[in-house]
Chain A
Amino acid sequence: MIRRIRSKLLGLMALLVLTLLAAACSAPGGEEEAAGGDAAAGASAAPEESGSEPAGDTPSASADAIKIGFLAATTGTAASSGADMVRGWDLYWELNGDTVAGRQVVTIHEDTAGDPQVGLNKARRLVENEQVSLLVGPLFANVGYAVAEYAGEQGVPNFQQVSSADDLTQRGQIDGVLRVGGWTSSQTAHPAGQWAYDEGYRRALTICSDYAFGQEYCGGFVNTFTDAGGEIVEQLWNPLGTQDFGTYMAQIEQTDADVVFSLQVGGDSVRFVEAWNSFGLKDSGPPLIGGETLLDQSLLRNMGDEAEGLISVGKFAEGREEGATPEFVEAFDEAYGDLPSYYASVSYSAAQWTAQALEDVDGDIDETEAFLDAVRAIEPDTPGGPMALDDYDNPDQNVYIREVQRREDDRLWNVPTQTFENVSQFWEYDPEEFLDHPVYSRDYQGDGVWPEPTQ
Chain B
Amino acid sequence: MSRAHMFGFTVLAVAVAVGVVVPYAFGSYLVSIVTLALIYSLYAMSIDLMGGYGGLVTLGQGGILATGSYGVAYVAARLGGGFGQQLLWGVLATVLISAVFAVMAMRTSQVYFLMVTLAQGMIVWGFVTRSTRLGAENGLRGIARPPAVSAYWKYYYLCLAIVVICGLLMALITRSPLGLSMRALKDSESRLHMLGYNLAATKFYVFMLSGFFAGVAGMLLAYYTKFVSPSNAAFAISGRGVLMAILGGIGTLFGPVIGAFIIVLTENILSLYIARWTTVLGLIFILTIMFAPDGLVGAGRSAFARWRGRRGDAGGTGGRSDLLEARHGAGPLDERSAVRSDPESGSRSGPLEGETTT
List residues of chain A with CB under 8 Å of any chain B CB. 1, 5, 7-8, 11-12, 14-15, 18-19, 22-23, 25-26, 28, 31, 33, 35-36, 38-39, 41-43, 46-49, 52, 115-117, 120-121, 124-125, 128-129, 141-142, 145-146, 149-150, 153, 165, 211-212, 441-443
Contacts and interface: CB of A to CB of B under 8 A. Distances in A.
Contact of B231 (A31, A38, A46, A115): A115
A15 B283 contact: yes
B30 A46 contact: yes
A23 B272 CA distance: 12
Contacts of A39: 272-275
B156 interface: no
A33 B275 contact: yes
B104 interface: no
A277 B95 CA distance: 52
B272 A116 contact: no
Given A22-B274, A145-B139, A12 B291 contact: yes
A11 B232 contact: no
A22 B280 contact: yes
A19 B275 contact: no
The 4 closest A-B pairs by CB, nearest first: A11-B291, A42-B272, A47-B27, A26-B275
Contacts of B165: none
A145 B141 contact: yes
A14 B287 contact: yes
Contacts of B280: 19, 22-23
Given A49-B28, A128-B28, A145-B139, A8 B303 contact: yes
B283 A18 contact: yes
Contacts of A28: 273-275
Nearest to B264: A121
Given A116-B227, A120-B225, A124-B32, A43 B273 contact: yes
B283 A129 contact: no
Contact of A117 (B136, B232, B306): B232
B340 interface: no
- Between B30, B137, B142, the greatest number of chain A beta carbons within 10 A of the residue's beta carbon is seen for B137
A38 to B, nearest CB: 6
Contacts of A46: 26-27, 30
Interface in B218-236: 225-227, 229, 231-232
A121 B268 contact: yes
A117 B291 contact: no
Contacts of B231: 115-117, 142
A39 to B, nearest CB: 5
B190 interface: no
Contacts of A125: 29, 268
A48 B28 CA distance: 9
A441 to B, nearest CB: 6
A389 B79 CA distance: 33
Given A8-B303, A33-B275, A46-B30, 10 more contacts: A5-B306, A19-B283, A22-B279, A43-B272, A49-B27, A120-B225, A142-B139, A146-B139, A153-B226, A212-B137
Nearest to A33: B275
Interface string B288-313: 00111000000100010010000000
B136 A149 contact: no
B137 A25 contact: no
Of listed B26, B141, B232, B287, residue having the most chain A CB within 10 A: B141
B276 A26 contact: yes
A115 B233 CA distance: 12
Contacts of B201: none
Given A8-B303, A142-B137, A165-B138, A25 B276 contact: yes
A19 B266 CA distance: 12
B132 interface: yes
B100 to A, nearest CB: 26
Nearest to A43: B273
Contacts of B287: 11, 14-15, 18
Contacts of B290: 11
Contacts of B292: 8, 11
Nearest to A24: B274
Contacts of B275: 26, 28, 31, 33, 35-36, 39
Contacts of B229: 116-117, 142, 146
Nearest to B234: A115
A8 B301 CA distance: 13
B284 interface: yes
A15 B141 contact: no
A121 B226 CA distance: 12
Given A47-B26, A141-B138, A142-B229, A1 B306 contact: yes
B30 A47 contact: yes
Contacts of B141: 145-146, 149
Interface string B29-58: 110110010000000000000000000000
Interface in B234-266: none
Nearest to B284: A15
Interface in B144-177: none
Which of A25, A36, A149 has the most chain B CB atoms closer than 10 A to its own CB?
A149
A6 to B, nearest CB: 11
A443 B306 contact: no
B137 A129 contact: no
B101 to A, nearest CB: 23
20 contacts: A1-B306, A7-B291, A11-B287, A15-B291, A18-B283, A22-B274, A26-B276, A41-B272, A47-B27, A47-B30, A48-B26, A49-B28, A52-B27, A117-B231, A117-B232, A141-B138, A145-B138, A145-B141, A212-B136, A443-B132
